[in-house]
A = this chain, B = another copy of it.
Amino acid sequence: MSNVQEVKLLGAWPSPFVQRIKWALNLKGVEYEYLEQDLINKGTFLVQCNPVHKKVPVLIHNDRPIAESLIILEYLDETWKNCPLLPQDPYQRAMARFWAKFVEDKFTEPIRQVLFVDGENQEKEVKKAKDALETLEGELKGKKFFGGESVGFVDIVLGFISIWLEVIEEVACVKVFDSQKCPSLAKWMEDFLEIKEIKENLPERENLVYFYKIGQFKLAMAAKK
């Protein structure tokens, strides 16, 4: 018999996609068992829980697995109603989903590519990531968080930049973030990392740098799906 609130998270510590789920679970005060996965020699349990993509994060709620970070976030929001991530109004929900998808397509994907390519191709990806940040700066302007006065869906989805962006910049020897051009985003990152449930148990910067530098970053970023 399964406990009605039995929650497990299959993750990998360097994955920003897993971090999103940890943040959402922390914010909602959901207790869970965290199960670190070996992404090089993938365990049968991970493959069984996510047979299509074989990637983390996977949330398991009462023995039922869910994959894909944004889909897990929506599930958490529909299952634990406290500390809502998405607004109640359908139009505002659509806007939050729009910006979350924008982050995924226009920022996360280029910044992932920055690690894999070099030369002109890398410059192109850096340019895409910069452009996306400037668009996000425009969307954030005048608000404390994308979610308004408190952290919401888009904040959780973009939040990884507050830790991972400098690491990626260091490892790939590029400069993506310009606090002069994106002052609202710079302030947002500071405010984001001030939140108790956000700043708990973050990966150490030097560990991330080491991990990415030794080439395992491929796995960390591929862990999305």
* A interface, over-half SS: helix
The residue on B at minimum CB distance from A225 is B105
Complex partner residue of A97 from B71, B94, B101, CB under 8 angstroms: B71
- Please state if B75 and A91 are interface contacts (CB–CB under 8 Å): yes
Contact with B along A65-106 (1 / 0, CB 8 A): 011100110110011000000000011011101100110010
Complex partner residue of A135 from B52, B101, B135, CB under 8 angstroms: B52
Could you write out 24 A-B pairs with CB less than 8 Å apart? Answer: A52-B102, A61-B91, A64-B91, A66-B91, A66-B95, A66-B98, A67-B98, A68-B97, A68-B98, A68-B101, A71-B94, A71-B98, A71-B101, A74-B93, A74-B94, A74-B97, A75-B90, A75-B91, A75-B93, A75-B94, A78-B90, A78-B93, A79-B90, A105-B225
Q: Which 7 A-B pairs have the closest CB atoms?
A: A78-B90, A75-B94, A71-B97, A66-B94, A79-B90, A71-B94, A64-B91
Given contacts A52-B135, A66-B94, A66-B95, 13 further A-B contacts (CB under 8 A): A52-B98, A52-B102, A61-B91, A67-B98, A68-B98, A68-B101, A72-B94, A74-B97, A75-B90, A75-B91, A75-B93, A78-B90, A79-B90
